[in-house]
Amino acid sequence: MTGQNPAPDEIVIDTGNPHPARMYDWFLGGKDNYPVDEEMGRQLLALDPRVPVMAKVNRAFMHRATRWLAMNGVRQFLDIGTGIPTEPNLHQIAQQVAPESRVVYCDNDPIVLAHAAALLRSTPEGVTEYVQADVRDPDTIVEQAGKVLDFSKPVALSLVALLHFVSDEDGAYELVDRLLAEVPSGSYLMLSHATADFTPKKSEEAGSCTRPAV
Ligand SMILES: C[S@@+](CC[C@H](N)C(=O)[O-])C[C@H]1O[C@@H](n2cnc3c(N)ncnc32)[C@H](O)[C@@H]1O
């Protein structure tokens, strides 16, 4: 892990408020979540019972896209908004196709850091690394990821089910532009995003449930 990550005994898990990584884990049937995450998950289920299916379909998209990229020659992956490890993880898929694949994971939730060991079991030929950082701090991500990835060679930037947590005010578009500016021609952007297009009213209600209070 990069030297900038907090030490394990410095990790503080906030069990008083729901967190996206833990709610997603609950929707996927995982066990790395707390009652407060389940409670919010159930509120969202009441608004839209399709959420667990959407989580699984999203995960399947990440699997397919990673496999396609690896089969088409991509050997470097920067995955921001990684989530709690749920096998198979991105590096396992990429390294199954090409064992030499180099993968940098990044998330801002301390619970993902607490589970990072599960993300760091690489093939002998490849590398996996974890960076604890917020996507709204792309400079740190690029600097830390640059210790493992060669930004002069193609990189797949993975922003899967992440950007709906970043508001337009926080510069979601600019963040993507900023990150893509680091990677050369031949790189790819792997992205999925929740949409309010089909159920605008329910999506607004869901958004107001999950938005942090100010
Ligand atoms: C729905 S999960 C998606 C996990 C994984 N990418 C997938 O699609 O299976 C969203 C992840 O984004 C992370 N996240 C949310 N806001 C973030 C931010 N500002 N910076 C970095 N990660 C963030 C959450 O902690 C969570 O792990």
Among candidate residues 71, 82, 78, 124, the one with its CA nearest the CA of residue 103 = 78
Please tell me the distance between residue 134's alpha carbon and the centre of ligand 1 in angstroms. Answer: 9
From ligand 1's centre to the CA of 165, what distance in Å? 8
For tokens 């921001």, name the residue: 80
Between the alpha carbon of residue 19 and those of residues 113, 159, 181, the distances in Å are 14, 18, 30
pLDDT value of position 213: 46
Q: What is the pLDDT of residue 2?
A: 56
* Distance of alpha carbon 150 from alpha carbon 142, whole angstroms: 11
Distance from Cα 174 to the centre of ligand 1, integer Å: 18
pLDDT of residue 119: 87
Bridge partners, 156 (sequence order): 77, 188
CA-closest residue to ligand 1 atom 13? 81
Mean pLDDT for each consecutive 10-residue tract of the chain (214 residues)?
72 93 96 96 94 96 98 98 96 98 97 91 96 97 98 98 93 96 98 91 81 52
Q: What is the pLDDT of residue 211?
A: 63
**Does the domain at residues 13-210 carry the CATH identifier 3.30.300.10?**
no
Check residue 214 and give its pLDDT. 41
- Angle (CA) 192 68 25, round 5°: 45
Q: Which two tokens stand for residue 57?
A: 């379909």
* DSSP H or E segment with residue 141: helix 138-145
Q: What is the pLDDT of residue 76?
A: 98
Q: How far apart are CA 179 and CA 151, in angstroms?
A: 11
